[in-house]
Structure 1
């Protein structure tokens, strides 16, 4: 990698983009991520889950904000169809068994709660690995404005544990390499 990183040690972050990047990288023969950090992820462009309706007009990111975001990404009215929509709106696509493990975290008092919990269920149904965390009373982005709150501290600690666990594992084999040829993260032979 030009930035000096190790392409075998990637953990994708930042919610919806992390969910969408893993499949094109795999399809194009790119590096396989060790994991995906899906934090307060906007995954369902239909914007019609119980939590989306429950949180309408409340909080820092509500159903209207989600609708605005999806319209900016897919066009208004929803003019994006086919494979492009499946890549951008991950709730439309089928989970793939070969997808990297997903750490999913969301607040219980936020618009994306139900779509993120559904994402974890769909990953499991496909035979994949998901670790969902629904933070009680957490609103969208709760850990940013009050980083010292116990809930914020716990959420950040869980994310760090997840990343540490991914990085401690052996990288997945890359196409064309035997399993024994993988480089070790800490320089061990």
Structure 2
């Protein structure tokens, strides 16, 4: 296969040619000619609406089962109502484990409905109840608006789980990318507020540190594909309301800056070795372990951001199997 080049953002902003191909897992290399040009499309205030529309076009069609419904619930603390999607609810008196899901999209794009297919597959594999929150996006809504949307979803699930065949004592938070960041933020907030006990947190290549790609540049192979340093600066700055990497950021907004991780629920963290978030995810897993929190870390060699959504590979399904196994263990389900 021909070598594919890419210009990446160096520490001083200079464009330097770089060949990412040797660092990419062989199964993912055929997609590079298509993905690299897309990776150069950095979000701006001017093109954000178009990028959001484009992201929705990639949503997979939903399955016939498990069933899903849409509902509007009250916002938390006087915030606007929040739309949630409920997957695999049952009115049969069962008490199944529950998952509160937060979708990805760099804090700036994405929606809960677009991820229903993946949630249906997880719900079927675990026979669990899932609620996904359609939180408000940045920059229109900054932290802590989206946190309160997600907390409203979590509290509603906790108070109403039994009506949908769920066990309010067995709730995990789950998210990928920015959704993984939201899940981590939500786990910290739930611990600090002391209202809702969480059993587990599953963080898929989570977006945890605003300093990545700003005050902390990464090696060129990390973040060369799909989500780059430039994407990260825009996403975090939009979410925080201050420049990514600033000396001060809103308290509770950046999991990697949270000093005390004690008392958080056990965690699974999965990431690819050339994902922009690889270092911050590995460091967060280590800090959880050092804080006495049981944490499982899974790093996939040669995998870039969102690799498990690439069709026709074996590493994607294997990664999903690892996630399902971790959720089974974390929610005390039969293996």
Query: Which range, TM-score by smaller chain?
Result: 0.7 to 0.9
Structure 1's unaligned 5+ residue stretches are: 170-184
CA contact (8 A) 2:191 2:263 kept: no
1:107 is matched with which residue?
A: 272
- Which one scores higher on RCO, CA 8 angstroms, separation ≥ 6? 1
Aligned length in residues: 166
Describe the SS at the equivalent of 2:304: coil
The one of 10, 14, 17 aligned to 2:182: 17
Matches within 5 A, 1:12-161: 12-14=173-175, 15-47=180-212, 48-49=215-216, 52-55=218-221, 58-77=224-243, 81=248, 85-146=250-311, 148-161=312-325
Whichever structure has more strand as a proportion of its residues is 2
User: For 2:270, what is the secondary structure of its paired residue?
Assistant: strand
- Separation in 1 of the partners of 2:277 and 2:313? 21
Asked if the contact 2:174–2:183 (Cα under 8 Å) also holds between the matched residues in 1, the reply is yes
Distance 1:75 1:133, change over 3 A: same
1:163: which partner in 2?
Answer: 327
Q: Which runs of 5+ in 2 are unaligned?
A: 1-158
SS in 2 for 1:10: strand
What is the DSSP-based 3-state SS (H/G/I as helix, E as strand, rest coil) of the residue aligned with 1:114? helix
Query: When the two structures are superposed, what TM-score results if normalisation uses the length of structure 2?
Result: 0.46
1:56: Cα distance to partner? 6.6
Distance 1:44 1:54 in 2: 18
* Residues 37, 97 of structure 1: alpha-carbon distance in 2 compared, 3 angstrom cutoff: same
SS, match of residue 73 in structure 1: helix
2:240 and 2:204 map into 1 onto residues whose CA distance is: 21
CA contact (8 A) 1:49 1:115 kept: no
Q: Deviations over 1:90-119 (max 9, x none)?
A: 111124221101100000111000000000
Contact 1:74 1:80 in 2 (8 A): no
Q: Contact 2:233–2:243 (CA<8 Å) still a contact in 1?
A: no
Q: TM-score, normalised by structure 1?
A: 0.79
Is the 8 Å Cα contact of residues 18 and 36 (structure 1) preserved in structure 2?
yes
User: Contact between 2:223 and 2:305, CA under 8 Å: does it hold in 1?
Assistant: no
Task: Please say which structure displays the higher CA radius of gyration.
Answer: 2
Deviant stretches of 4+, over 6 Å: none
- Report the aligned-residue RMSD: 2.3
